[in-house]
Amino acid sequence: MKLVIQRVARAAVRVGDETVSAIGRGLLILHGVAVGDGEAQVDALVRKATGLRIFDDAAGKMNLSCEDVDGGFLVVSQFTLLADLSKGKRPGFEAAMRPPESERLYDLFCERLAASTGRPVKKGRFGATMMVELVNEGPGTFIIEAQK
């Protein structure tokens, strides 16, 4: 399981003309599920994301969490995080878990993140072609992978 966490001033997800979810300041989390992932990986990444201190304090040091700054969470499923680009020019997606199990683990990650932080977690639309808009604050982008 892989997360790309982006510290944002704002972010939104649209499907067609519909805005599905939007947040102000907070974390946009791109979430990819790999073949072989399970609840252990979900729990490990929830523990890591909860309280992650990547927002600046008054001294300009990354010392505050999303929860500390009263930020929002927006989690978007993105199987392309598991793309293999080691051969040729076309990505391979054999490492990405297929639905319905990948959707179950995505939903579980969102539920457990909400429970762990005590904050609502907004979501993209699983399996849809989405337009993801963000204003990256900093910029700040972090990649976390769960061990098997």
Q: Give catalytic residue positions.
A: 78-80
From residue 87, alpha-carbon distances to 30, 83, 92 in Å are 24, 11, 9
Quote the CA–CA distance of 105 and 84 in Å, as a whole number.
21
Quote the CA–CA distance of 109 and 88 in Å, as a whole number.
33
What are the φ and ψ backbone dihedral angles of 58, each rounded to 5 degrees? -60, -25
Report how many helices (DSSP H) and strands (DSSP E) the chain contains, helices first.
Answer: 2, 8
Report yes or no: 117 and 52 within 8 Å, Cβ to Cβ.
no
